[in-house]
Amino acid sequence: MKKISFVLAGLCATLIGAAHAQEKPTVQFIATGGTIAMKIDPVKKAPVPAISGDDLLATVPGVAEFAKIEVNNLSNVPSDYMDPPRWIELSKAVSTAVQRPEVSGVIVSHGTDTLEETAFWLDLTVQSDKPIVLIGAQRNASSSDFDGPRNLLNAVRIAVDEQAKGKGTMLAMNNQINAARHVTKTHTANVETFQSGDYGFLGEVYPDRVIFAREPLRRQHIAISAETMPRVDIVAMYGGADGSLLRSAVDQGAKGIVVQALGMGNMNKPMFEAVKYALEKQIPVVISTRVYNGRVMANYGFEGGGKTTADAGAVMAGNLSPQKARILLMLLLQSGKSGKEDLQAAFDAM
């Protein structure tokens, strides 16, 4: 009888162990393309889209230790091709995934050129406490030091980590975790390209554990309520700008304008006159800056200074970059907000 008991106990332990192995959390991996999905084409002798999400996953067998991975090959395009229709499609895919109770988090692979824009879009449009982790690669899959596999493994570990809940959309590359709200690409080739300026990383991924040091506080959700997004253009201010590009954008049908201004949100007289031209036609204008750190303010009182544009009816973007200010303005307009008071309140909340 004792021998039978030992056998039964061993069998139960084996079955329990197998059950626990099957209880790995589920993570959905949505592949969209980018350098992380490229290889060197022997004819073009340049990186081109070549591998699927399944192919990338196969390079990281270690992920099975942390989660069961579902692959959704949504697209395979350079991130330079990302646009509002693709963002809407991606938001739907991510939202569908996080609504499933068995899914612990979602990973999105993406090109680095517009990675920060897509991350911010998802942070605004997907409402969930589950981690959404974006990854990319600075080196293509033909490179001997391809950084895609490590970034994918780190993203899986973040997606199943309890600490990652409630932190919104994050970007995980080079063992560093950045918040979608603050992150930007700072180098064309370096693997440590993504930085968060004055605000710093959310955390880091180490071989033994994931460490978070802070969390993003200034976040908001804007539901997608339209099938197409209103056209919003970015117009750069530079020495000698004459405002003609801004006027042209208005005449060509832009529903909103973001000015990439100078300093705290300043511009010359011709650009200021163009801003007033847009405002007179009831086209909202948001003032951002080309400066990496700091915020725009209604500060300088000369013609074209931040105070004069704010007094004329323009909205101050705070410290949102022009590309992220465009996304926020686009989503606000599609939700029916177009007055200065409502727009400024939304930008101030960021």
Model confidence over 309-318: pLDDT tens digits?
Answer: 999 999 999 9
CA distances from 28 to 97, 131, 226 (A): 7, 11, 26
| Mean pLDDT for all residues in the chain | 93
Question: Does the pLDDT value for residue 22 go beyond 50?
Answer: yes
DSSP 109-121: E--SSSHHHHHHH
**Binding residue ranges for substrate:** 79, 112-113
d(CA 107, CA 123): 13
Catalytic residue among 32, 112, 125, 308: 112
d(CA 323, CA 113): 12
Question: Does the pLDDT value for residue 53 go beyond 50?
Answer: yes
CA distances from 344 to 23, 229, 330, 334, 340 (A): 47, 20, 14, 16, 6
**Binding residue ranges:** 79, 112-113
| 298-303 CB contacts, 8 Å cutoff, 24+ apart | 298/265, 299/264, 299/265, 300/264, 300/266, 303/269, 303/272
d(CA 288, CA 307): 13
Question: 């801003």: which residue's tokens?
Answer: 275
d(CA 11, CA 349): 58
Catalytic residue among 35, 118, 169, 193: 35
pLDDT, tens digit (0-9, with 9 covering 90-100), for 215-254: 999 899 999 999 999 999 999 999 999 999 999 999 999 9
Name the CA dihedral angle for 24, 152, 202, 122, rounded to a multiple of 10 degrees: -90
Query: Which phi and psi (to 5°) does residue 236 adopt?
Result: -90, 140
Q: Is 318 helix (H, G, I), strand (E, B) or coil?
A: coil
d(CA 41, CA 266): 46
Question: 């196969």: which residue's tokens?
Answer: 58
d(CA 97, CA 163): 20
Q: Is 211 helix (H, G, I), strand (E, B) or coil?
A: strand
Q: Give catalytic status of residue 32 as yes or no.
A: no
Confidence band for 5, pLDDT divided at 50, 70 and 90: very low
Residue 207's closest CA among 25, 53, 21, 65? 65
Q: Is 215 helix (H, G, I), strand (E, B) or coil?
A: coil
d(CA 285, CA 266): 13
Length of the chain: 350
Q: Give catalytic status of residue 35 as yes or no.
A: yes
CB 267 within 8 A of CB 242: no
Question: 């990186």: which residue's tokens?
Answer: 47
Confidence band for 23, pLDDT divided at 50, 70 and 90: confident
Paired residues of 151 in beta bridges: none
pLDDT, tens digit (0-9, with 9 covering 90-100), for 88-112: 999 999 999 999 999 999 999 999 9
Q: Region 41-45: what's the mean pLDDT?
A: 93
CB 223 within 8 A of CB 335: yes
d(CA 177, CA 333): 31
Name the CA dihedral angle for 159, 165, 170, 172, rounded to a multiple of 10 degrees: -40
Instruction: For each of the domains in the chain, give its residue range(s) and CATH number, in order of start.
Output: 26-212 (3.40.50.1170), 232-348 (3.40.50.40)
pTM of the model: 0.92
